[in-house]
Amino acid sequence: MNLVKYITNYFSSKNRIFLVCILTIHVIFSYYFISKQYITYDEPSYIEYSKRWLHGKPERVEALDDSKTPVISIVWLPRIVQQIIQPNLKQTDFGKKDQEQGRYMMIIFSLLLLIYFYKFLQLLKIKYWLPVFLFIIIDPLLIAYSVLINSDLLSGLVLLAIIYHLYQYLFFKKRSHFIYSCIWLATGLVTKLSFVFFIPVFWLIIFVVHKKIDWRKFLLFVLLILLVVNTWFYFKNTCLPLGQFQFSSNTFKLVQQFLHFLHWLPLPLPENYIYSIDLLQYHAQLGGSYNNTYPGVYILNKFSLTNNFWYYYLVAAWYKFPISILFLITTGLFAFLYRFKKNIQKYWIIIISIVYYLLVLSCFNKFQIGIRHLLIVLPLMYILIAVLLNYLVQTKFKWGIAILWLFMFFSVAKYYPNLIPYTNELVTNKAKVYEKLMDTSIDYGQSKLDASNFLQQNTDFKTLTETPQTGKYLVSMQQLVLHQMYKDTSYNWLIKNYEPIGMYKYVYLQFKIDALKR
């Protein structure tokens, strides 16, 4: 009876009913998306690393282990339950079923993100919160990456949670939330190493509000960070002396040489966590290639194997964000500047976090290989969009919000469930999208199996050859870009002389060559 009474009281709030409906819709969209998408390039390495971690072996043994995190190990829960029920169970599909089942577990993180998002809007006293949720549940990036086994959307959840608890601590004087924010930041350090860059911002925010640094809290922060990070890695080989490390990257080797007089100094972090940072530096040092963990950076028909482009994410967002969202962001920017003093006082922590990460990603990240990296700040951007919509819904422009939502809905619906290669209407010729952007923003390996099945069912089509031949071809746009990046001209006979007759899954081009051009 008490449970029934609790449930009845909980759903007595109209807001909570709406929230549960939105969460349910999100789960339905995600479940259907999973059933239609093949495993992407990164997912096998993520799930294999988490498997070794569950067996007590967090070491980085493969090159792709450099950025992998144990935080996503919840993906193994279905298999663990099955193994308990059937101790002799053995899979013979090379882990395909485990990966598919693991995707369903990733929905837990996206649901937690949406709940945190709702709580944050309540904290900011956003009365009309429903409009922003109508946009967020059809966002192509959030739908697509809410189920993929990687750390991108999870990073967005972590940053959102950090800022939410910081608001509670700094502006509502809830001291326990300082501890929560520290734990989330420590989890972020395990989730994605870019959170190392956020530590100075974290303390800068506290200093600006309190006008000082409480050294007792700083000590608590350090202890919590060390405790959480070490716990995630079983305290394995923690406190090894600096001189015992065998680094790969020039950066870490130089630091080790410079501090040679401290070779005895024990480092209070797990050995494999330090090596993961070193490996990332080493792979950035090697540059893009077929043999490295990333191919290089490509945007607007320009490419670099060793450097980044400061405008990479701006261009990617320009073509990958729905036009409705671009319009709201632009409108919000003007509205923010119009009431700068009032808005900066209330939302400066959110703004500085977004701007800081955009600068870090744009100027210091050599692994610019997809729009997915912006998922770390996308939830915070939606917080600011919610502030704008809360104002607009109380004006004559409320019908304009409905028009923007309908435009976004139909724009996304044209792609669903093939949402990874989604581009907005600014890309007028989808068959030429590879001239603007490519990498995992378009082809994350999600259509590889579909392409193989297509070739089996349509025997008149074949893969591209270096020798000019007549016939029908199914050509990966990613393959064309990689040939261009590595200055391989063997496919120029096709690209420079013929136009595609169609597309497949928004990733592959279809060509029909009736006669060769001389």
- Least confident window among 216-220, 339-343, 378-382: 339-343
Residue 385 has pLDDT above 80, yes or no: yes
Q: Render pLDDT for 169-181 as a digit per residue (tens, 0 to 9).
A: 999 888 999 999 9
- Angstrom distance (rounded) from CA 424 to CA 321: 7
pLDDT of residue 1: 47
Q: What is the pLDDT of residue 128?
A: 93
In 3D space, the residue among 49, 42, 280 whose CA is nearest the CA of residue 149 turns out to be 42
Contact by Cβ (8 Å): 75, 48: no
- Where does the pLDDT of residue 221 fall: very low under 50, low under 70, confident under 90, or very high at 90 and above? very high
Each residue's pLDDT tens digit, 299-331: 999 999 989 999 999 999 999 999 999 999 999
Q: What is the pLDDT of residue 443?
A: 94
Least confident piece of the model among 94-108, 413-427, 441-455? 94-108
Most confident range, picked from 8-17, 92-101, 420-429: 420-429
> Rounded to the nearest 10 degrees, how much is the dihedral formed by the CA atoms of 473, 479, 480, 486?
-140
For residue 201, report the phi and psi dihedrals to the nearest 5 degrees: -65, -40
Segment 159-214, tens digit of pLDDT: 999 999 999 999 988 899 999 999 999 999 999 999 999 999 999 999 999 999 99
Quote the pLDDT of residue 97.
Answer: 83
Per-residue confidence (pLDDT) for residue 7, from 0 to 100: 47
What does the pLDDT read at residue 397?
Answer: 87
**How far is it, in rounded angstroms, from Cα 11 to Cα 13?**
5
* CA distance readout (Å), 54 to 50, 59, 66: 6, 12, 17
Mean per-residue pLDDT for 104-126?
A: 95
Residue 502 exposed, middle or buried by CB count within 10 Å (0-12, 13-18, 19+): exposed
The answer, yes or no, to whether residue 463 has pLDDT greater than 50, is yes
Residue 403: predicted pLDDT: 96
Alpha helices in 365-476 (DSSP H): 378-392, 398-413, 439-442, 448-457
Residue scoring higher pLDDT (92 or 405) = 405
pLDDT at 99 over 90: no
Q: Is it the case that residue 477 has pLDDT exceeding 70?
A: yes
Q: How far is CA 494 from the centre of its chain?
A: 34
Q: What integer pLDDT is reported at residue 507 of this predicted model?
A: 95
Mean pLDDT, the chain, rounded, equals: 91
Average pLDDT over residues 108-116: 95
Using 50, 70 and 90 to split pLDDT, how confident is the model at 94?
Answer: confident
- Alpha helices, DSSP H only, in 130-266? 130-136, 140-145, 152-171, 176-191, 198-210, 215-232, 250-258
Predicted confidence band at 255 (pLDDT cuts at 50, 70, 90)? very high
What percentage of residues in the chain have a pLDDT greater than 70? 97
Bigger pLDDT: 83 vs 3: 83
pLDDT at 111: 95
By mean pLDDT, which of 11-20, 135-144, 468-477, 505-514 is the weakest? 11-20
**Beta-bridge partner residues of 299:** 302
For 104, the token pair is 């369903």
Contact 205, 349 (CB under 8 A): yes
Query: 5: which residues sit within 8 A by CB, 6+ positions away?
Result: none
Residue 188 Cα distances to 222, 301, 368, 376, 501, angstroms: 14, 34, 20, 11, 46
Q: With 50 as the cut, is the pLDDT of residue 230 above it?
A: yes
The answer to whether the CB of 183 falls within 8 A of the CB of 228 is: yes
pLDDT at 5: 54
Report which of 128, 197, 225, 116 is spatially closest to residue 163, judged by C-alpha positions: 116
Q: Is beta strand 461-462 parallel, antiparallel or unpaired with respect to 471-476?
A: parallel
The whole-angstrom separation of Cα 114 and Cα 112 is: 5
User: Position of tokens 């144990």?
Assistant: 70
For the chain, helix, strand, coil in percent to 5 are: 65, 5, 30
Tell me how far CA of residue 387 lies from CA of 21, 43, 347, 394, in angstroms: 22, 35, 10, 12
Q: Render pLDDT for 410-434 as a digit per residue (tens, 0 to 9).
A: 999 999 999 999 999 999 999 999 9
Instruction: Sort strands 471-476 and 508-513 into parallel, antiparallel or unpaired.
Output: antiparallel
Q: How many CA atoms lie within 13 A of 362 on its CB side?
A: 14
Residues 6+ apart with CB under 8 A from 457: none
Q: Cβ distance 139 to 404 under 8 Å?
A: no
Whether residue 92 has pLDDT greater than 90: no
Q: Could you read off the pLDDT of 334-371 as tens digits, one per residue? A: 888 877 777 788 899 999 999 999 999 999 999 999 99
Tokens 């993180």 appear where? 109
Q: CA–CA separation, 16 vs 10, rounded Å?
A: 7
Q: Which of 92-96, 313-317, 407-411, 502-506 has the lowest mean pLDDT?
A: 92-96
Among 194, 173, 244, 179, which residue's Cα sits nearest to residue 69? 194
